[in-house]
């Protein structure tokens, strides 16, 4: 499933990055179940799992949000936190052992994978009577569905677009008002930066210890008019569009405009923040990273619209949507739903957006004034966003794609060879499931 561009996200829409966590009022681990008071004395508890800690968010949850939830519900919240890298395995283990948190955060491709394994409770009955249902953008809410059932509620998303270092562009005589609109312009800018600045490799394509290369390639794939799967459900990355997209990415490395040896380790300053690169595909986290690690340069981190592909047309990009779901084995589904809806309420999503640097998934947040450093261009990028397919095997598939992209940027085969082999691998994964 992809997000329909007809449900165009406007400046009032989405964006965001990974969610960090707190330990506010944190109790000892209580498994997947919320416990009821005994004799009217012991407080109820409910567990919440989130990924990717953020100190500002931790402080807000500890001191404000979770105490407010306790006052409202009478329940204490046990917050579990871990990194994104181990998130899926942690959820798989929790689902199999019955220790999945009552309310669990999940990333873009995890909904279908875990719902297919029966890990999450269907929220259909709750959503039918939930007054806030119409407050969310329909396409965003639909992204929490699998096989026609609602398993998750979105709370934030990261819309990717092209980001630049304005000060480095200025060194090359390029104005921030003249940002590229298509692949031709993006490549020409990289060439200009290489010839007129001290940057040896001005473009960074997201190589990291996770799936950054896959994310960049996916944007190029959509910009070229391609897709992951054809009408019959077979992998179609080796289509003409997919090959064109990968050839474009590879051309940056072949021309020395990008360096396969530059890898972001997932913590600290990014290549854009350090000035090691002047252009990349990323989300608002680029600004957040600069504010944290190189604040004087944060104002130089600027966003352009997503690029259009080789044949022109509309820009295209992808939104990476984070959601909350409820464990299928929770012993207190009503309390879990109360916590979930508390977190995605209008006021609390505003805080999540503010601390995590994202636009809301709620249509009733019709202003981004509460978000620092969000430009109109940054917000406008969202209306061109789609999403990865809701395939239950996308967790595994995206890892395979990323490995193939690593081969590609190192010149270990042609685009057609790499993508043809990748299609065979993906079809084998889907057939085995």
Structure confidence at residue 313 as a pLDDT band (50, 70, 90): confident
Distance of CA 113 to the CA centre of its chain: 16
Q: Which pLDDT tens digit goes with each residue over 257-306?
A: 999 999 998 889 999 999 999 999 998 889 889 998 999 999 999 999 99
Residues 140/154, Cβ–Cβ less than 8 Å: yes
**pLDDT at residue 40 in the model:** 43
| Angstrom distance (rounded) from CA 393 to CA 198 | 43
Instruction: Indicate the DSSP class of residue 347.
Output: H
What sections of 197-239 are H helices per DSSP? 212-223
Domains of the chain: 44-159+321-386 (3.40.190.10), 161-318+390-432 (3.40.190.10)
Q: Which pLDDT tens digit goes with each residue over 200-218?
A: 999 999 999 889 999 999 9
| Angstrom distance (rounded) from CA 11 to CA 34 | 39
Q: How many other C-beta atoms are found inside a 10 Å radius of the C-beta of residue 377? A: 15
Cα torsion angle, 366, 362, 158, 180, sign = negative
Contacts 24+ apart (CB under 8 A), 33-38: 33/102, 33/329, 33/330, 33/331, 33/332, 34/75, 34/102, 34/330, 34/331, 34/332, 34/335, 34/336, 35/331, 35/332, 36/332, 37/74
Q: Which pLDDT tens digit goes with each residue over 53-73?
A: 577 888 899 999 999 999 999
- Enter the pTM of the model: 0.80
pLDDT at 1 over 90: no
**pLDDT at residue 82 in the model:** 84
Q: Which pLDDT tens digit goes with each residue over 353-405?
A: 877 767 778 888 867 777 777 777 877 887 888 888 989 999 899 999 999 99
Which of the pair, 120 or 137, is modelled with greater confidence? Answer: 120
């Amino acid at each position: 499933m992809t997000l329909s561009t007809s449900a165009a996200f406007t400046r009032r829409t989405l964006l965001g990055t990974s969610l960090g966590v707190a330990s506010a009022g944190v109790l000892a681990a209580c498994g997947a179940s919320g416990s009821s008071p005994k004799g009217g004395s012991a407080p109820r508890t409910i567990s919440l799992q989130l990924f990717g800690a953020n100190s500002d968010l931790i402080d807000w949850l500890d001191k404000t949000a979770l105490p407010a939830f306790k006052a409202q519900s009478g329940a204490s919240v046990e917050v579990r936190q871990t990194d994104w890298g181990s998130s899926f395995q942690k959820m798989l283990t929790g689902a199999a052992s019955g220790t999945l948190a009552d309310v669990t955060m999940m990333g873009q491709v995890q909904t279908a994978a875990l719902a297919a394994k029966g890990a999450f409770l269907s929220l259909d009955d709750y959503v039918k009577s939930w007054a806030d249902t119409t407050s969310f953008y329909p396409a965003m809410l639909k992204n929490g569905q699998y096989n026609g059932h609602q398993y998750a509620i979105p709370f934030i998303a990261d819309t990717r677009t092209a980001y630049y270092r304005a000060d480095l562009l200025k060194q090359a005589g390029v104005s921030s008002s003249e940002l590229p609109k298509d692949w031709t312009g993006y490549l020409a800018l990289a060439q200009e930066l290489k010839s007129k600045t001290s940057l040896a490799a001005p473009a960074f394509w997201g190589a990291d210890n996770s799936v950054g290369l896959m994310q960049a390639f996916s944007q190029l794939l959509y910009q070229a008019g391609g897709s992951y799967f054809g009408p019959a459900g077979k992998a179609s990355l080796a289509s003409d569009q997919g090959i064109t997209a990968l050839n474009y990415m590879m051309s940056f490395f072949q021309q020395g405009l990008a360096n396969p040896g530059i890898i972001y380790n997932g913590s600290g300053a990014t290549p854009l923040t350090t000035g090691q690169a002047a252009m990349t595909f990323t989300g608002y986290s680029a600004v957040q990273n600069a504010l944290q690690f190189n604040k004087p340069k944060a104002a130089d981190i600027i966003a352009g619209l997503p690029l259009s592909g080789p044949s022109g047309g509309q820009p295209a990009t992808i939104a990476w949507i984070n959601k909350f779901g409820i464990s299928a084995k929770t012993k207190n589904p009503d309390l879990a739903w109360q916590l979930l809806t508390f977190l995605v309420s209008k006021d609390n999503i505003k805080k999540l957006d503010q601390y995590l640097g994202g636009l809301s998934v709620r249509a009733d947040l019709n202003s981004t004034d509460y978000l620092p450093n969000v430009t109109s261009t940054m917000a406008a990028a969202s209306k061109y966003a789609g999403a990865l397919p809701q395939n239950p095997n996308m967790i595994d598939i995206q890892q395979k794609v990323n490995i193939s992209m690593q081969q590609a940027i190192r010149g270990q085969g042609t685009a057609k060879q790499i993508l043809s082999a990748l299609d065979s691998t993906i079809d084998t994964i889907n057939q085995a499931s």
